[in-house]
Amino acid sequence: MKQTGHQQVVEYLSNLQHPLKQEIEEVRKIILSADPRFTEHIKWNAPSFCIQEEDRVTFNLQGKGFFRLVFHCGAKSKDNKGKERLFEDPTGLLEWAAVDRAIVKFTDMHDVKAKKEKLEEVIAKWIEAAG
């Protein structure tokens, strides 16, 4: 029987060997509580969060001493060349990698807690702008 996306993530996290596992789990809770429409599954060998089956936020756990959240607009290629960023980020939290892709980096639990409110705000704006 195929696992649900939620079951995939629960199993993935139970087997995860990462020095910031507790912080990763805390950020996951923040994301899931930010919008009741979020579903989750594993993408790019990490938990990813979808709205209406389109990936919007995905963990990148490859760093040493940190991890990242990648904000994106799903698998479908968008024609965003020459366009402006999806929105202006009043929080200053996002590091823009492209007009439709941004990153937030976390280093420890203090960092996660310090960024919690801004992260919730950015998630809401991203969902609204990414459609």
Token pair, residue 125, equals 């704006």
The backbone torsions φ and ψ at residue 101, rounded to the nearest 5 degrees and listed phi first, read -150, 130
Provide the CATH topology of domain 5-130. Answer: Aspartate Aminotransferase, domain 1 (3.90.1150)
Q: How far is Cα 61 from Cα 130, in angstroms, rounded to an integer?
A: 23
Domain assignments of the chain as residue spans, ordered by start:
5-130
Tens-place pLDDT, residues 95-117? 999 989 999 999 999 999 999 99
Planar angle of CA 108, 114, 116, nearest 5 degrees: 100
At 12, the pLDDT band (50, 70, 90 cuts) reads very high
Give me the mean pLDDT over the 88-94 stretch: 93
At 1, the pLDDT band (50, 70, 90 cuts) reads confident
pTM, two decimals, is 0.91
Give me the mean pLDDT over the 26-37 stretch: 96
